[in-house]
Chain A
Amino acid sequence: MGSGMTDQPTTHIQLSSSVVAEAKRLRNTRYALLAPGILTIFCIGIMPLSIVLVYSFLEPGDFGGISWVLSFDAYVQLLFEEDIFDETLSFTTDYIQIFLRSVSLALFTTIACLLVGFPTAYFIATQPPARRNAWLFLITIPFWTNLLIRTYAMLLILRDQGVINLSLIEIGLIDSPIPMLYTDFAVCLGLVYAYLPFMVLPIFASLEKLDFRLVEASYDLYATRFKVLRRIIVPLAKPGIAAGCILVMIPSLGAFITPALLGGGKSLMLGNLIELQFGQARNWPFGSAIALVLMVLVMLSLISYLRFGAKKGTPAHG
């Protein structure tokens, strides 16, 4: 009895402690398994960003680097400048103009990619399954080559002594080359060419799942072709369109190889502006501030875009 009295709680304690140990082990395993991921995010995500954040609130050091003095100059500088003539602080539009150029270029690229990419994706999605893969394969082929090389190829096509101009002169359509390279047109063409697959693939993924019986049904109900597109196909492909637009817009915003090569480097893009501050301008805090403002803007537009997309999406389901 005595032994039983002692036995009972012991087993209970043993049991509960083994449960606790098991739970602890599980929790430890979970943390251990998560550790590489968390460590990676911390080391290559959070830590460098914190350095950028801290640097943006300091003063530039001698000959590059920073000096440990708290300062908000970097952010003030973005919007205001001391007038070169009378030393008053006045509103400056230089940086806003560079922001706007980058944004409008990215927007234009996204729209052009959508206009070309959507029909392409639709075409592929309506092919017999066996042939779809071949088409997708063709879309991904340019990805096998480095972006820089593809951009150079574009350079060779567009330049004064390039493929287009030389063949036009050869057949006698023009006497002197049409200057196409080093214009905004060339930059946009280069960006559209580079990012088109990012638009086609997600839209294709959406359209592939689309039940084409719905399209047939709407035709049966006397919908016009345009109505079918507007009321059936586009709403159902919306997640793909949204994903495609985001995937094209964001890299276009930060693009600088393409604008530098095809635009002739006469206008700064955001990427070049940031690079300038870390290089010749020797103003690391200002460079950090621009990088952060750009990141916040992209994040805000992304969040609002997703919210907007989600709200539009919900009633469509209902």
Chain B
Amino acid sequence: MKSKILSMIMAMGLTLTVGSVSAAGELHIYNWGNYTNPEMIEKFEKMHGVKVTIDGYDSNETMLAKVEQGGSGYDIVVPGDYMIAIMIKKGLLERVEPNKMSNFKNIDKKWVDVYWDEGRNYSIPYQWGTTNFTVDSTVYKGDVNTLALLFDPPAELKGRINMLKDMNDVINAGLRYLNYPRCNSDKAQLKELNTMLIKAKANWRTMDYSVIEKLTSRDVDLSQSWNGAAKRARKDRPELVYSYPKEGFTGWMDNVAVLKGAPNLENAKLFMNFMMTPEAAALTSNFANYANGIMGSEPMMNADLTSAPEIVMPASAPAPEFVPPCSQEVTDLYAKIWTNLNK
């Protein structure tokens, strides 16, 4: 509630200041709601004498719609991986070349050549996570690191499974289980996927986003889940184990980027460079509860984060796969399979 009031006041302040374009010492950030550490912002404000305002959104698509209208007055946005790809394609982001900034050396090498921004000319990592599943280790005692638990579950998990009500997460997991490629338009393979999903669905109890509630109420013993939600569910149900399936899994990353025509371009660049410092990254992780992509931030992160198997991936786990947005043709096919599965 407090943050809501705060963001309202900030939004009001924003509309008042939008008129005076590039007033010295200002920066307007448009980030996911409840995702920016006020301590981190304070630090940046003190460091550079810049007055920061923050506004929140609840989905990549909401942010895109607002930015596309133009005249939003924002400098910084924090889109997800695939949304960065879309926004670069649509020419909505400023090519600020963070790869030439002084703190770029802090970025973990594995986050530099990413499909959504090869070589990092537009954006830098903010937070990242994975989408897997978490399972009660007292109910199922075997190896959790396989997608078979979702699609061909053992007797003790039958009828005790929650899947995310998310077309892409369910279909991508299914494609991995069958060892077929993502963004798939091969109709024979999709037909096989369709049959497999319908058969598996008989063993699922629910398909819902409210993962934590489903697990802690003991309505289910296994749930597809984002890593942050899995960590929070484990607080109430310590026997939950987060799986890193050997068949692979989806990763996501939110990225700091600068909007084309940003009124405070220089301040935005300063902010980007600041966000690549281990201190700023650690502050963000401690607030948002996800991993960042900045080396050297771990010693400053909260212990419950750095010790959480949901946040820190074990070395044995395969690398997370970042799935690009599929073509409309593939999306149409997926929507048909999804409708067929849910009819």
Contact = CB atoms under 8 A, between A and B. Distances in A.
Given A276-B338, A283-B335, A181 B219 contact: yes
Given A268-B342, A280-B168, A281-B331, A160 B187 contact: no
Contacts of A22: none
Interface in A45-102: 60, 62-64, 81, 84-85, 87, 94-95, 97-98, 101
Interface in A192-232: none
Given A84-B187, A281-B167, A281-B332, A182 B340 contact: no
Nearest to A177: B218
B283 to A, nearest CB: 32
Nearest to B334: A281
A97 B64 CA distance: 34
Contacts of A282: 328, 331
A84 B340 CA distance: 12
Contacts of B207: 264-266
A29 interface: no
A62 B318 CA distance: 32
Interface string B323-343: 001001001111111111011
A161 interface: yes
B175 to A, nearest CB: 15
A94 B343 contact: yes
B339 to A, nearest CB: 5
A125 interface: no
B343 A265 contact: no
Interface stretch (B103-111, B188-196, B254-262): B188-196
B328 A265 contact: no
Contacts of A266: 201, 204, 206-207, 342
B208 A276 contact: no
Given A85-B188, A94-B339, A266-B201, A279 B208 contact: no
Chain B: interface size category:
35 or more
B321 interface: no
Interface in B231-250: none
A301 B205 CA distance: 35
A160 B191 contact: no
Central interface residue in A64, A182, A282, by most chain B CB within 10 Å: A182
B166 interface: yes
B219 A85 contact: no
A196 B210 CA distance: 28
A159 B208 contact: no
Contacts of B194: 84
A279 B328 contact: no
Interface string A176-189: 00010110000000
15 contacts: A64-B61, A81-B336, A98-B339, A160-B218, A182-B219, A265-B206, A265-B208, A266-B204, A268-B342, A272-B342, A280-B331, A280-B338, A281-B335, A282-B328, A283-B332
Interface of A: 60, 62-64, 81, 84-85, 87, 94-95, 97-98, 101, 159-161, 179, 181-182, 260, 264-268, 272-273, 276-277, 279-283
Given A98-B343, A179-B159, 20 more contacts: A64-B61, A84-B336, A97-B343, A98-B339, A159-B219, A160-B218, A161-B217, A264-B205, A265-B165, A265-B208, A266-B207, A266-B342, A267-B342, A267-B343, A277-B335, A280-B335, A280-B338, A281-B331, A281-B332, A281-B338
